[in-house]
Amino acid sequence: MTLLIAIGNTLRRDDGAAHRVLELVGPAPGMRAVNCHQLTPEVAEDVAGADQVVFIDADLRPGEARLEVLEAGAGWNALGGHALRPWEVLALAVKLFGFGGKAWLCHVPGVDFEEGEGLSSTAERNALAAADLLRDIVRARP
């Protein structure tokens, strides 16, 4: 099973781009989708129940939608607040719950992160491209 985790706040415009990506991908056999505002520790157990996982998040940096292979725990959050970053959740999934699958972070660049709903045209275009990337991963699942 491929787990897709969308991260972001739909009330901060392009910050919600990941949720739009999940809408575009739609339901598919062998796929499960999770929407969240931010990552919290218990998401690690959801990850551990999957064969592979893709975290989808808006990106402040300009560019096109892209996939980045994730390494577990590549830089802890020393501040240790309530929210975790994808590689930290991945580390929890690996070390505490035995996850051994592949993991990616799907970057969806945006340009407008102010209060409001709806995506900018840039983020919408990148969301469409990201959805194509994710469909390929879901189809090629182990």
Nearest 5°: the CA angle 60, 24, 121 is: 45
The burial class, CB within 10 Å (0-12 / 13-18 / 19+), for 85 is buried
Closest approach of other proteins to the CB of residue 58, in Å = 15
The number of helix segments (H) and strand segments (E) in the chain equals: 4, 5
Strands 31-36 and 2-7 come out as parallel
Q: Which CB, 62 or 76, lies closer to other proteins?
A: 76
Residue 62 to residue 122: CA distance in whole angstroms: 9
Q: Which CB, 42 or 100, lies closer to other proteins?
A: 42
Closest approach of other proteins to the CB of residue 106, in Å = 21
Closest approach of other proteins to the CB of residue 42, in Å = 4
Closest approach of other proteins to the CB of residue 93, in Å = 10
Q: Which CB, 28 or 36, lies closer to other proteins?
A: 36
Instruction: Name the residues that contact other proteins, by CB under 8 A.
Output: 11, 35-38, 40-42, 44-45, 73, 76-82, 88, 91-92, 95-97
Q: Which CB, 91 or 134, lies closer to other proteins?
A: 91
For residue 4, the surrounding DSSP H or E stretch is strand 2-7
Q: Helix (H, G, I), strand (E, B), or coil: what is residue 98?
A: coil
